[in-house]
Amino acid sequence: MRRKREKTELLAPGGSYEMARAAYDAGADSVYVGPVGWSRRRSFYELSDEDIKRVIDYAHEHGKLLRVAMNTLPSTWEISKGLQKIENFIKMGIDGIVLTDPGFINRVHTNFPGLEIHASVGCSAMNREEFKFYADMGIDVVTVPTELNIKELKQLQDDDACGVEILVHANRDFTYLGRCTMSSYFKHVWKKASDGKNHFHGSPNRGGLCWRVCKSQWCLTEKTNGRASEFGSPEDLGNVAFFLFEEVPDYMKMKVDCLKIQGREYTVPLVSDIVKFYRELMDACMEGQDPTSDPEWIKRREAMITRRDNERDTKTKELLNECGEIKTTTEPVTVGEN
């Protein structure tokens, strides 16, 4: 049975110990961090077990929560290794775990029945039957896909099988978020750590970084009688950010369990400002206000979006150059041949 929350929780990213502290200080109720090799990011934005313990201590000293994201798709060998890590995190005092793989979820709930488990957005739970499926497996809260509207969310919430966690800031992928396998087709590097864990650079689903090849310039071509013809102008595949704003008052009235911010790869000041923005917005809603038509709030949001886009564009270019298999100019890239 899931834990009932007295109020909607604001969940923020912790791509470093410093980021986690800044998120708490800016008003986050909880933070999620990823152990190295287990959380769909490059190791620079994941934390060592020692730093995770430091975050737990800081969180609990300030009445906050800490969750650990292990939302990759583990191999058979990695299941036992992952269970060992989770047992260690429980001893440290974590407040919950974020998982994606159904087999891993089943084992974690069986081994640690008192541990709160959140189903990652990568589970793509779109309907009430999937919510019931995950509830039966021991899931407490489900992070819902970004494609669901208010009416659909209310239907899921009315069933009360699992809590509802909504992404207020993330990216809308051209596939379902957390389901893309495109990156590993272009460059997939096996990199094993000293403990034997493979970090799978190029495959975020297995534990490594994503090259963001969808953000390169793509163009379809057709080859007929040895001659290639292009269709349309080169463009990326639509991996775009969103900062939900007008919807937040409705989410607060619904008393959803959690509003989540992504962004472990951002700078600490940007994460701090994003958290502060949503903390103040949520507090205003709880006081009966609706600031979504206020010009000053709109201006703040637009400035935040600009900062975020500039940061992400810089990192995307770095990843594409590091990948080396995709051109970062406007020159078309051939993706198929008939």
Encode burial over 251-274: b for 16+ CB neighbours within 10 A, e otherwise. bbebebbbbbbbbbbbeeebbbbb
**What average pLDDT does the segment 100-123 reach?**
95
Burial bucket for residue 134 (CB in 10 Å: 0-12, 13-18, 19+): buried
Assess if residue 146 is contained within a domain: yes
Assess if residue 263 is contained within a domain: yes
Assess if residue 182 is contained within a domain: no
Please report, in angstroms and rounded to a whole number, the separation of the first and last CA atoms in the chain. Answer: 53
More confident residue, 126 or 240: 126
How many Å apart are CA 207 and CA 34, to the nearest integer?
Answer: 10
Residue 223 C-beta-side C-alpha neighbours within 13 Å: 6
Cβ count near 301 (within 10 Å): 17
pLDDT digits (tens, 9 = 90+) for 141-171: 999 987 788 899 988 887 778 999 999 998 7
Assess if residue 190 is contained within a domain: no
Assess if residue 324 is contained within a domain: no
> ∠ CA(244), CA(250), CA(254), 5° rounding?
125
Beta carbons of 261 and 278 less than 8 angstroms apart: yes
**What pLDDT does residue 81 have?**
93
> Which residues are CB-contacts of 290 (< 8 A; sequence separation ≥ 6)?
249, 284
Assess if residue 111 is contained within a domain: yes
Beta carbons of 169 and 270 less than 8 angstroms apart: no
> pLDDT band for position 226 (50/70/90)?
low
Lowest-confidence segment of 12-26, 217-231, 292-306 by average pLDDT: 217-231
Query: DSSP letter string over 88-125?
Result: HHHHHT--EEEE--HHHHHHHHHH-TTS-EEE-GGG--
More confident residue, 287 or 197: 287
Question: Domain holding 288: CATH number?
Answer: 3.20.20.70
pLDDT digits (tens, 9 = 90+) for 307-320: 998 888 888 788 77
Assess if residue 102 is contained within a domain: yes
Assess if residue 29 is contained within a domain: yes
**What average pLDDT does the segment 167-195 reach?**
72
How many Å apart are CA 38 and CA 83, to the nearest integer?
Answer: 12
Number of structural domains (the chain) is 1
Bridge-based pairing of strands 30-33 and 65-69 is: parallel
Mean pLDDT, the chain, whole residue set: 85
> pLDDT band for position 332 (50/70/90)?
very low
Which structural domain range is residue 65 located in? 9-177+239-304
> Which residues are CB-contacts of 300 (< 8 A; sequence separation ≥ 6)?
277
How many Å apart are CA 190 and CA 35, to the nearest integer?
Answer: 18
How many Å apart are CA 170 and CA 29, to the nearest integer?
Answer: 18
Beta carbons of 64 and 103 less than 8 angstroms apart: no
**What average pLDDT does the segment 69-91 reach?**
94
| 185 pLDDT above the threshold of 80 | no
